[in-house]
Chain A
Amino acid sequence: MMDGLRGLVVRRATAVLPVLLGVSVLSFAMLRVIPGDAAVILGGPQATEAELVGIRREYGLDQPLLVQYLRYAGRVARGDLGVSIRTRDPVRQLLVDGLGVTLTLATLSLALAVTLGIPAGVVAARRPNSVIDVLTMAGALLGVSMPVFWYGLVLLFVFAGALRWLPAGGVGSVKHLVLPVVVLGTAGMGVIARLTRTAMLEVMHQDFVRTARAKGLAERQVVLRHALWNALNPVLTVVGLQFGFLLGGSVLTETVFALPGIGRIMVNAVFSRDYPVVQGGILLVGTMFVLINFLTDLAYVLVNPRLREA
């Protein structure tokens, strides 16, 4: 078993470097293909050419692309992500701070989604097409489909505006996190509940479940020990993907709740063509994504011993 695991770790780890190199080239190139550059946006509509020349020279944007890339790659290799062209913030610090906020948000909302979503899916799958199934799945559908912007503002309006139980956005305490976690958690819960239900229904009809029942095991044991354990594979995949998605995709929630997360930092940086921040951010999120995929793969192997031989 240890050999299998070690082999997997080594194979995966060697695949990571080319992926990250590709990510760095792509993030560098993509931004330079789209219109506008950092100087144009910093200068705004009223800037004269002379004003832009100064900015371009200062940040080396007047150099050939290859030179720019090599300089950038050289700095990154030394662990230096540079400073934001827009605000002169050191990029690494900026991203680490943002990632801290987003990671907290993602972890808590995923925890909420899993603790509510998996039981909901199991309950619904136990009695397909019953009232409880229909209600649970309708709730899950609602959770998935509610626009984050609207939902977030409604929660803010009720709990911050009208009741004044919670702060109206920003960071600083646990209370600040409640509403954003609920918003993100609701959507994740919907996805996980629906997927758990489907996976459970599939598994429940398989022979080993029938065997377990025939052995005379209690229904509770059949469902939790045999069926759910086997249904978890696709659910785990989605949990991993959801986590990745939450890392980069919580920008709307971060905007509504004025959270200084990495999603908002990245979107602002893309719109202002703040190259060092976007490149550093993509590299960081790319690395996290690769790591999460890697951990998900490991989790598969732990859940499903048959994969260890592969």
Chain B
Amino acid sequence: VTRARIHLVVTALVAALGLVGASGALGEAERRGGTLVYASTADIISLDPPNVSDTISGAVVQMVYEGLVGFTSEMAVVPRLAESWTVSSDGLQWTFKLRRGVRFHDGTPMNAQAVKYTFDRILGVSGESVLRANLYLPYIKSVEAPDEQTVRFVLQFPDAFFLNRLAGNQACVVSPAAHRRYGKDLSRNPVGTGPFRFVHWMANREVVVERFDGYWGRKANLDRVVVRPVPEAGARVIALESGDVQLASRIPPEQVGRLERNATLKLSSQSTLRTLFVGMHAQKPPWSDRRVRLALSYAIDKEAIARSLYQGLAEVIPGPVPRGASGYAPIPGLAYDPDRAKRLLAEAGYPHGFEATLVTVKGRYLKDFELAQVIQQQLGEVGVQLKLDTVEWARYLDLLRMAPDKSPLQMWLDAWSTATAEAAGVIWPRFACSEFRPKGANTNGYCNPELDRIVHEAERTVNVPARDRLLRRAQEVLVQDAPSIFLIGTREVVGMSARLHDPIQMQNETLTVNERTWLDP
């Protein structure tokens, strides 16, 4: 038995005990029944797991489906359809024992063949292409089903974050019978094993799920959940105040004070895996000079931004990795030091600063445009004159997706979140030499072979402490190289009726419910 395996089994046990403990403590007051109406920011897009990439579809996927493992709200990996698992000593084979007696909502059994079917589909064995295939394709070689309750994954290399990958929405197990029947339209007719089963989805009106009485675990408390898109934040708040809805996502910071004074409502805030940063084009002067990039980073007062602009709805982060991600290292970042910034600019040959354009979007990320304005003002104080260029989302995506040698970008406000909640997945696609846009997500055109080597090794180190040491080193390199001005991780506030208990607010910005969520009469 390898150390990694012991560690994993212990993690699974602790997590399982944690779940039991939590439900036991809450057990007395819980009440069965009731319909929860939940106001989301937009309509869902797809309920076919490997085609899901937005958090609202993700919220419903979490109700209807389950994976072999899943994430807690703090992004810890816990068992779901798998009861236990082992990994071979070379880290290349993962063997999962499935829970017995689990059935899909259509009555067909959830077994090893169903799991294999789910992953064969993602890997393109059946010829179908799914949106998020790349979360799995580079890592999984094949999936075997040696018996009814056993699934074995054969990997391309020892994958340090394999369990995180399996815990995402995209790896949820779908009913093979349903997929054979609906094909691509599984997205509108989802069939999983989750505590709620799908009732209907009317575009721009509502998605409805109801308690699944054949659920393998304890049956859900709520009878029904109605997810209703209410795009305008002010209208969401009023719907909450009027009692029309009992749960509302994304409460704007300026409404928090008013809602806090309302005794019939509760607010809850959670840090997210989304980080905001300013990208800099590492191949163009003056940003090709590391001293300039460091200077611009020192010139920004991140603490003040978190405190004043975000009023506590943000946390300063040292590098690109959000605090909630596995492998995050709490290292010191580049603290505010305008004098040092000026000295570095002078050393680099820009004693009077320079002019540049900062591309930004408006209303897409929390206070994005206001943040761009603060950056413009703070960089102005060290002599760097920024012109803000606010562009529409599609234009912005086009700009981000250009190859570094063709990109007109100089500096841009940007955000990143991670589906797998781990550090390597945050660093590699954005900063590896092989991942320049459009193939990968390296918009900066930043390349440091030393960083590549460290992250490459970390991705293949199944031993957790050793892996995290490597990732810490990678984060230190990135802080010192400053390819982007790393700013903050955001926090998100959700509002709910005081009658609602235990909704699930996950760090990946998914607001959902599970079988234990309940409503007072």
Contact = CB atoms under 8 A, between A and B. Distances in A.
A54 B127 CA distance: 11
A40 B400 CA distance: 10
Interface in A241-263: 255-258, 260
A170 B133 CA distance: 36
B438 A35 contact: no
B244 A168 contact: yes
A51 B136 CA distance: 12
Binding site secondary structure of chain A: helix
A54 B129 contact: yes
Contacts of A161: 238, 241-242
Q: Which of B230, B231, B397, B439 has the most CB of A within 10 A?
A: B397
Given A87-B203, A168-B235, A46 B394 contact: no
B344 to A, nearest CB: 30
16 contacts: A34-B394, A36-B395, A41-B394, A42-B53, A42-B131, A45-B414, A45-B441, A48-B134, A50-B439, A54-B133, A86-B45, A87-B43, A161-B241, A168-B239, A169-B244, A256-B234
Contacts of A45: 397, 400, 414-416, 441
A255 B363 CA distance: 15
A58 interface: yes
Given A258-B230, A258-B232, A51 B131 contact: yes
A54 B394 contact: no
A6 interface: no
Interface in A29-80: 34-36, 40-51, 54-55, 57-58
Nearest to A156: B238
Given A42-B131, A160-B239, A168-B244, A88 B185 contact: yes
Contacts of A291: none
Nearest to A50: B134
Given A257-B235, A260-B205, 15 more contacts: A36-B395, A36-B398, A41-B397, A42-B53, A45-B400, A45-B414, A45-B415, A48-B134, A48-B440, A49-B438, A88-B188, A168-B241, A258-B235, A268-B43, A271-B393
B230 A169 contact: yes
A260 B203 contact: yes
A202 interface: no
B238 A264 contact: no
A89 B235 CA distance: 26
B228 interface: yes
A153 B53 contact: no
Q: Which of B44, B130, B131, B245 has the most CB of A within 10 A?
A: B131
B238 A168 contact: yes
B460 interface: no
A273 interface: yes
A249 B439 CA distance: 40
Contact of A36 (B203, B235, B394, B441): B394
B407 interface: no
B46 interface: yes
Given A54-B129, A88-B187, A97 B239 contact: no
A94 B234 CA distance: 26
A86 B395 CA distance: 18
Interface of A: 34-36, 40-51, 54-55, 57-58, 86-89, 94, 97-98, 149, 153, 156-157, 160-161, 164, 167-171, 255-258, 260, 264-265, 268, 271, 273
Shortest 6 CB-CB distances between A and B: which pairs?
Answer: A36-B394, A54-B129, A260-B204, A168-B239, A35-B395, A161-B238
A153 B203 CA distance: 23
Contacts of B133: 50-51, 54
Contacts of A273: 394
A40 B394 CA distance: 8
B203 A89 contact: yes
A69 B395 CA distance: 23
Contact of A40 (B131, B202, B397): B397
B429 interface: yes
Contacts of B438: 48-49
A112 to B, nearest CB: 22
B31 interface: no
A51 B137 CA distance: 11
B318 interface: no
Interface string B392-406: 111101101100000
Contacts of B129: 54, 57-58
Q: Which of A88, A94, A98, A264 has the most CB of B within 10 A?
A: A88
B429 A48 contact: yes
Contacts of B465: none
Contact of A44 (B205, B244, B397, B439): B397
Nearest to B430: A46
A44 B130 CA distance: 15
Interface string B211-235: 0000000000000000011111011
B34 interface: no
A53 B438 CA distance: 11
B398 A35 contact: yes
A169 B239 contact: yes
Given A54-B129, A258-B230, A260-B203, A41 B243 contact: no
B364 to A, nearest CB: 10
Interface in B389-439: 392-395, 397-398, 400-401, 414-417, 429, 438-439
A52 to B, nearest CB: 8
Contacts of B53: 42-44, 47
Interface string B175-191: 00000000011011000
B473 interface: no
A256 B205 contact: no
Nearest to A271: B393
Contacts of A48: 134, 429, 438-441
B99 interface: no
Nearest to A54: B129
B266 interface: no
Contacts of A54: 129-131, 133
Contacts of B440: 48
Contacts of A170: 205, 228, 230, 244
Interface in B217-274: 228-232, 234-235, 238-239, 241-245
